[in-house]
Chains A and B, each alone.
Chain A
């Protein structure tokens, strides 16, 4: 349903003519998405009716009010990486928050920063590091948005062991509700500052998000106070070498390891012990048997040769159950303690530090990857795209079940030739959030979006794994994937197995968005 000229004019008056467009070429750059081909069979979802670029919360509010008034849907995005950003149907105005890109404040003493939607993790991290602080960075990469992650998305990342998961990192938030009213969470609403996102009374953070956010379905977030964490390293990190092989100098009082174990059981035992010893700074499984040859080759072709020749098979066996660990300490005494504790843990669990990873250049490379989180999009390199599955936030032991299940199911698709043969084992995560409180494991896979058969295989794999977690414990799959895999009925499939949460969630949607103006495709859609 195209925008009426009247509505278009109002939106244009709000943001200015240079900040609104309904040019097809521009619209297409918003409905084109990663993973789109697994849902629609093409690279494109439905075109938005227009794209607007507001410059302030007042403009955002005016846009939302206009949409409510005239029965138009809207969906906000910042960097916009992933299908949850695109319009889910006809008649959606895309609200691109690109122009709202400032770091408004860094409170060093009380360890938080107030950011706008288009600030990316890299920017926040470097500014924080100047003050001896840093931030949790999600696995997607430091090119994602902390505000989006904290208010609207998921938030798993390997810094979770000491910096938690994005849902746990917002403090106060400025939120344009679906109706256009402005809600300021916590201390902000009481005019007391940004330090707390909960209260008065019950916490409306509970409406904002759960394990996952509303992904555009509950209005627009314009400012967020994000927790910062101690960074006992230099104000500016030093890099050596030449891209893409550049490496980070490991500062004093930091250590960087890859640790390997003989089984999932001892892997889990070690993860638990590291968690409760409170010694990890960044930790998690960002390595897999099939990925190890990538460390030693510079192109897909070289990688493929090494794999196909069997040259890497022995090496790969050593990395079957591995995770990376960065220790970061505030003093020499502390790092010494942490290392001792780690040695004891390795001895107790039969773990070891693979020789291949002991050279200092390798450690510098790992350190860069773990702290900057700047290389994770390499997962798209080999075949053009990747997808993931499972990934419930739960206990480490239960996450191991996901690791085993994921591998089993993947073998079928590898045999069909529709996804990359990565050795079948590519669990990612086990990041022991908050020193071991909850973790997740996703099963990654790689496919070619330019190949319809491969895209179809990817879709089937996501669907199969999403259905699996609805039928049996342990835990719920990552929602944004499950929604892609199961379609609009996703919540209706999961709900009955989970206290009928979907009934309540629909009521929340109706109460907070009576006009159904915020695109709810990745939140919850009305019952038929």
Chain B
């Protein structure tokens, strides 16, 4: 669909501002009652999802032209989708889709942010948006005794993703994940330096062609490799595989799992037995792309019809993704299986979790905003009394790390994998 195909949605926005808050029943305090980082940071209504729907309509109707401020409104947003969840509690609109279309339209019209251009150039030259040389991609797995699926067959492909591949501080988590899989007897392999970006971030910042390219390449490669399962520790990649990959129309002959899903399964099957005590009170941050944005793509093509006067229905009927079927329980189950570990929840969780701040190209284009967003989340974690914040995504991990370091905060930070390793 194109931006103009969403014109009815733009006109049907009622400017109710529900996109700024969690689903209202889930608000538990004044302090943690926002759900849209862009709005809290930017304040003008334009920064909300509803505001962006209006901006899109204004653009389509020729009321406005591209300006720097317009681009800021479009791009100063992590595309975390909390707005979409809140809107869809009562409405059948697609705010996040409109925002994605808006970015694609900006790129189509040559309205490019320099920080994003850098990411795309890097993608095109080295198959990653981080400006790192492709040759170094496999370094994270050096001396890790694991199959290389470019030369050997394996049942399961562990997909590291760009962040894990090139962010040395985080290598331990990726290595840990592979170690756990092997411990559980999984026939796992990796692509090493042959691995390429999932393409998800590029899609998010409006470069759809890149996503298509990587999706097609990856699906073909993995089909050809005969892997039955693709598992990743990166939530961004996971969400991309589940939501965007099916759009390119290639059959995926493999199951896609996030590492927390897989570990949960393995624990329940008795193949991993956490027995060592890890006495700690922790709180868990739901990554956007593992949570609300990971719901599988539901293909729909059809038309709008009116019945009973003015009721708008979709023909054929359309099922809306409302964010409630994300991967929420598996990470929690894994944590709960760790003896001595106590999980306390933050106020904004699951489909209405506050974003870590990294996504949507914000970490690159608006680093202060990204860090501020993370600090908000850290404060929320601290308010639970927990000593550690746990997550399941390297982008969340990186952004929280940077924020904690900047403020010299004492809160500990873990990935689910790290805690499980300690328990074995």
Chain A positions within 8 Å of B, measured between CB atoms, are 19, 21, 23-26, 28-30, 32-34, 37, 43-44, 51, 53, 79-81, 96, 98-99, 102-103, 119-120, 122-124, 126-127, 141-143, 236-237, 239, 242-244, 246, 248, 299-304, 307-308, 368, 372-378, 380-385, 414, 417-422, 446-451, 454
Contact = CB atoms under 8 A, between A and B. Distances in A.
A301 B314 contact: yes
Nearest to B87: A377
B202 interface: no
Interface in B301-325: 306-314, 317-320, 322, 324
Contact of A24 (B51, B57, B58, B91): B58
Given A25-B55, A243-B351, A374-B24, A308 B8 contact: no
Contact of B11 (A26, A301, A307, A450): A450
A243 B25 CA distance: 10
B63 interface: yes
Contacts of A449: 11-12
Nearest to A21: B44
Given A243-B322, A377-B16, A451-B310, A29 B89 contact: no
Given A28-B58, A53-B43, A236-B28, A300 B312 contact: yes
A381 B15 CA distance: 14
Contacts of A24: 58, 63-65, 67
The 3 A-B pairs with the shortest beta carbon distances in the complex, nearest first, are: A384-B12, A374-B24, A378-B90
B54 A28 contact: yes
Contacts of A126: 27-30, 33
A409 B168 CA distance: 70
Contacts of B312: 300, 382-384, 448
Given A103-B30, A446-B311, 17 more contacts: A24-B65, A25-B69, A25-B73, A33-B15, A53-B43, A81-B16, A98-B44, A126-B29, A300-B92, A372-B25, A373-B24, A377-B14, A418-B309, A449-B11, A450-B8, A451-B306, A451-B310
Contact of A448 (B14, B33, B64, B310): B310
Interface string B53-84: 01101100001110101100100000000000
A32 B54 contact: yes
Contacts of B313: 299-301, 304
Contacts of B46: 25-26, 29
Nearest to A373: B24
A114 B380 CA distance: 25
B188 interface: no
A142 B57 CA distance: 27
25 contacts: A24-B65, A25-B73, A26-B69, A26-B73, A29-B44, A29-B50, A29-B54, A32-B54, A43-B10, A81-B14, A122-B33, A123-B30, A126-B33, A243-B324, A243-B351, A246-B23, A248-B25, A299-B318, A300-B312, A301-B314, A377-B14, A384-B312, A421-B308, A422-B308, A446-B311
B257 to A, nearest CB: 22
A23 B11 contact: no
B18 interface: yes
A96 B16 CA distance: 15
B30 A119 contact: yes
A96 B48 CA distance: 14
A244 to B, nearest CB: 5
Contact of A21 (B24, B27, B69): B69
Given A304-B307, A304-B308, A450-B12, A23 B17 contact: no
Contact of A142 (B24, B45, B54, B319): B24
Contact of A122 (B24, B44, B54): B24
Most buried by A among B27, B55, B318: B27
B344 to A, nearest CB: 14
Contacts of A239: 25-26
Interface of B: 7-8, 10-18, 21, 23-30, 33, 43-46, 50-51, 54-55, 57-58, 63-65, 67, 69-70, 73, 85, 88-92, 306-314, 317-320, 322, 324, 351
Nearest to A51: B44
B23 A374 contact: yes
Given A242-B324, A448-B310, A28 B55 contact: yes
A44 B17 contact: no
Contact of A30 (B26, B45, B320): B45
A414 B64 CA distance: 37
Nearest to B66: A25
Contacts of B16: 34, 81, 141, 143, 377, 380
B307 A80 contact: no
B33 A53 contact: no
A385 B12 CA distance: 6
Contact of A244 (B11, B69, B90): B90
A141 B43 contact: no
Most buried by A among B12, B65, B69: B12
Contact of B306 (A98, A124, A448): A448
Contact of A25 (B14, B67, B314, B324): B67
A426 to B, nearest CB: 13
A357 B10 CA distance: 36
A19 B42 CA distance: 9
A127 B73 contact: no
Contacts of A368: 25
A24 B351 CA distance: 33
B197 to A, nearest CB: 32
Contacts of B29: 123, 126-127
A377 to B, nearest CB: 5
Contact of B309 (A34, A127, A419): A419
Contacts of A34: 14-16
Contacts of B88: 244
Contacts of A374: 23-25, 89
A303 B311 contact: yes
A448 B92 CA distance: 13
Contacts of B10: 43
B310 A418 contact: yes
Given A26-B46, A126-B27, A304-B307, A381 B57 contact: no
Given A25-B55, A384-B8, A32 B15 contact: yes
Nearest to B85: A243
Nearest to A120: B21
B25 A420 contact: no
A6 B160 CA distance: 57
B70 A25 contact: yes
B18 A377 contact: yes
B64 A143 contact: no
Given A24-B64, A448-B306, A420 B24 contact: no
Contacts of A384: 8, 11-12, 312
A265 to B, nearest CB: 29
A461 to B, nearest CB: 12
A32 B24 contact: no
Nearest to A47: B63
Contacts of A142: 24
A80 B12 contact: no
Contacts of B90: 244, 375-378, 380-381
B24 A96 contact: no
B20 to A, nearest CB: 8
B298 to A, nearest CB: 13
